[in-house]
Structure 1
Amino acid sequence: MSTCTALIIPANEAEPVRVETIDTGLETLQTLVGGNIEAVSAEDWHFYLNEEGKILGLAPNRRAGQLVREETGRLSDIYCGDVVVLGETYDGDEADVPERLIETAQQLFGIQQPTA
């Protein structure tokens, strides 16, 4: 198991987007998204969400969609439920979320920084 800095984007827009250091083990990721995980990949980053989010009727995560559209220039799906964004190494391992994504999230939504 390893720990990485993650960007957490709740589907509930009343909850703040936040940056946290998390254990990247399967159990932790499942807890954060509320069920089995599905990965959506981009260039050097990816995010996890509940693989049954649409079936379960979880709320659409508009902020996650907005971040994807801002970073990739396209949006090919509607993401439902909470999202955990991480970086990716060249080997495909988990890594800290890229700083540019944190900066983009700050500009778009404001984010809650971790407390020391």
Structure 2
Amino acid sequence: MSTCTALIIPADLNEPARMESIDAGLDNLQTLVEGNIEAVSGDDWHFYLNEEGKIRGLDPNRRAALLVLEATGALFDVYCGNVVVLGETPDGDEGDVPEHLIDLAQQLFGLRETTP
């Protein structure tokens, strides 16, 4: 079990995106995305979402899509449901979300910092 700083982006636009210290274990990630997880990866980051989000009719996550588009220059899918963004350590373990994604998210849609 590892504790990491995550960027949590709810699909519901009425809920603020936030930075939060989380347990990055499978059970907690599944709780945060409300189901089995699917991973989407970038260079030094990845995010998790509900693997059945489209099938279950979860709301599209427009903020997560915007973040991916701005970070990578491409968008290959529609992401549905809540998204949890983490970083990657050099050995491939879960790590804190990279600063450049935090800065980008702040510029695009603002963030709220939560306290444990």
TM-score under structure 2 length normalisation? 0.98
Whether 2:70 is the aligned partner of 1:70: answer yes
The aligned residue for residue 94 of structure 1 is 94
Q: Which runs of 5+ in 2 are unaligned?
A: none
Give the residue type in structure 1 aligned to 2:83.
Answer: V
Amino-acid identity (%): 72
The aligned residue for residue 108 of structure 1 is 108
**Residue 48 of structure 1 aligns to a residue in which SS?**
strand
Shift of 1:63: 0.3
Query: Could you tell me how far apart the structure 2 residues matched to 1:115 and 1:37 are?
Result: 25
The aligned residue for residue 21 of structure 1 is 21
Shift of 1:114: 2.2
Query: Could you tell me how far apart the structure 1 residues matched to 2:8 and 2:112 are?
Result: 10
Shift of 1:89: 1.3
**Residue 43 of structure 2 aligns to a residue in which SS?**
coil
Query: CA contact under 8 A between 2:20 and 2:115: conserved in structure 1?
Result: no
TM-score under structure 1 length normalisation? 0.98
Query: Could you tell me how far apart the structure 2 residues matched to 1:20 and 1:79 are?
Result: 21
The aligned residue for residue 37 of structure 2 is 37
After the TM superposition, list the runs of 4 or more consecutive aligned residues in structure 1 that deviate by more than 6 angstroms.
Answer: none
Query: Could you tell me how far apart the structure 2 residues matched to 1:52 and 1:4 are?
Result: 25
Query: Could you tell me how far apart the structure 1 residues matched to 2:106 and 2:113 are?
Result: 10
| Equivalenced residues, count | 116
Deviations 1:30-75 (Å, cap 9, x if unpaired)? Answer: 0000000001111000000000000000000000000000000000
Deviations 1:61-94 (Å, cap 9, x if unpaired)? Answer: 0000000000000000000000000001122100
Q: Which runs of 5+ in 1 are unaligned?
A: none
Query: Could you tell me how far apart the structure 2 residues matched to 1:95 and 1:60 are?
Result: 26
